[in-house]
């Protein structure tokens, strides 16, 4: 009985840590059986990866700020402005594509800096700050475009950002590089650990000599930079600038980041959990659409998933804290008994 209990406990622990990748495989297999001619093809897989590259990038941008227990609700509006500018600066202002990309990156960092200063220094709520900034950015998008598409001839080198390397989408390779860099920073460098520490207990971090205001500002600047990269990718993929594009990405990005906290590092947002969560959502939506689901399924599914992700993430975090407290209490009792 004890061995059986240990086995079940081991299986439960494995599933708790790797649930999203396992569910992703199961869901993919189910849709492959239901749609054998269209779903498991390399064309469909490549299309999903290509389409989700921008969302994964935005998920990573959101993740950095959530690690400090602050949200960034401006990413959807920002990616909309960034993709408009990276196209418009080339078409309307005549900049070369590298200069246009650098300008967009600088603007993204500046937007992140404003968000960070308002949240950390002025003390405005992260929700109010980033939601308000998002509306400002949305207004600037309309001001720049006049409500019209930004269309024109773009250099082939710029459009190649959204091409293929061999038979693999270049965009997903860019995302993979960025994800690896963020993973290393968040998991192995002091900077990432400081962000997690601030998110867990800002006062304790401050007493430990970590300046929460500075690192929260840094987190928003990094988030703005990653969002600008997503905007460049989106511009290369669409090859036009549209004011209507952007806000729809907000739900998916936050849902992916929060849902990712239920695996790998349970109760904490993490890179590979977020990537798996985003791919899982994309797989479900793609399968449902190929089975003839109506157009309203995607927003309904993303909204419901975001609410579920927040609930599950909070529950997982509470369980982790509770477990840590129980282990600490047990250690204290054992040390007293030993004494």
Neighbours of 332 (CB within 10 A): 10
List beta partners, residue 294.
Answer: none
Residue-level pLDDT at 331 = 60
Beta carbons of 66 and 125 less than 8 angstroms apart = no
Domains of the chain with CATH codes: 45-337 (1.10.3470)
DSSP 3-state of 270: coil
11 falls in which pLDDT band (50, 70, 90)?
low
Say how far residue 154 (Cα) sits from the centre of its chain.
28
Is 79:256 a contact under the CB 8 Å cutoff?
A: no
> Which SS3 state, helix, strand or coil, does residue 65 take?
helix
Instruction: List residues bridging with 169 in a β-sheet.
Output: 164
Inter-residue contact 254 to 265 (CB < 8 Å): no
pLDDT confidence tier of residue 299, bands split at 50, 70 and 90: confident
Q: Is the pLDDT of residue 26 over 80?
A: yes
pLDDT > 70 fraction of the chain, expressed in percent and rounded = 85
What kind and span of H or E run contains 39?
none
Residue 286 scores a pLDDT above 70: yes
Global pTM? 0.87
Q: What is the mean pLDDT of residues 7-35?
A: 77
What are the φ/ψ torsions at residue 164 (nearest 5 degrees)? -120, 145
How many degrees, rounded to 5, is the angle at CA 46 between CA 248 and CA 306?
A: 30
Report d(CA 23, CA 4) in Å as an integer. Answer: 24
pLDDT digits (tens, 9 = 90+) for 153-212: 899 999 999 888 888 899 999 999 999 999 999 999 999 999 999 998 888 888 888 999
């Amino acid at each position: 009985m004890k061995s059986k209990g240990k086995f079940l406990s081991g299986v439960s622990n494995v599933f708790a840590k790797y649930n999203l990748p396992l569910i992703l495989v199961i869901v993919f297999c189910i849709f492959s059986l239901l749609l054998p001619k269209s779903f498991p093809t390399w064309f469909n897989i490549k299309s999903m990866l290509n389409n989700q590259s921008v969302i994964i990038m935005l998920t990573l941008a959101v993740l950095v700020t959530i690690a400090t227990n602050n949200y960034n609700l401006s990413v959807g509006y920002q990616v909309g402005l960034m993709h408009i500018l990276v196209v418009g600066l080339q078409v309307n202002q005549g900049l070369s594509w590298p200069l246009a990309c650098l300008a967009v990156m600088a603007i993204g960092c500046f937007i992140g800096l404003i968000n960070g200063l308002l949240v950390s220094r002025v003390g405005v709520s992260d929700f109010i700050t980033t939601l308000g900034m998002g509306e400002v950015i949305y207004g600037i998008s309309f001001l720049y475009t006049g409500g019209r598409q930004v269309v024109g001839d773009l250099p082939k080198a710029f459009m190649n950002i959204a091409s293929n390397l061999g038979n693999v989408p270049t965009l997903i390779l860019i995302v993979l590089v960025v994800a690896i860099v963020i993973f290393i920073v968040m998991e192995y460098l002091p900077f990432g650990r400081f962000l997690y520490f601030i998110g867990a207990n800002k006062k304790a971090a401050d007493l430990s000599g970590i300046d929460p205001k500075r690192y929260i500002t840094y987190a928003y600047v990094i988030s703005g930079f990653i969002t600008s990269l997503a905007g460049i990718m989106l511009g290369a993929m669409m090859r036009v600038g549209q004011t209507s594009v952007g806000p729809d990405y907000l739900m998916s990005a936050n849902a992916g980041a929060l849902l990712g906290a239920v695996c790998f590092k349970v109760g904490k947002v993490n890179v590979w959990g977020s990537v798996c969560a985003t791919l899982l959502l994309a797989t479900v939506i793609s399968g449902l659409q190929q089975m003839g689901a109506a157009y309203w399924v995607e927003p309904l599914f993303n909204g419901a998933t975001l609410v579920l992700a927040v609930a599950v993430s909070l529950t997982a975090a509470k369980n982790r804290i509770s477990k840590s407290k129980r282990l600490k209490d047990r250690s204290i009792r054992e040390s007293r008994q030993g004494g």
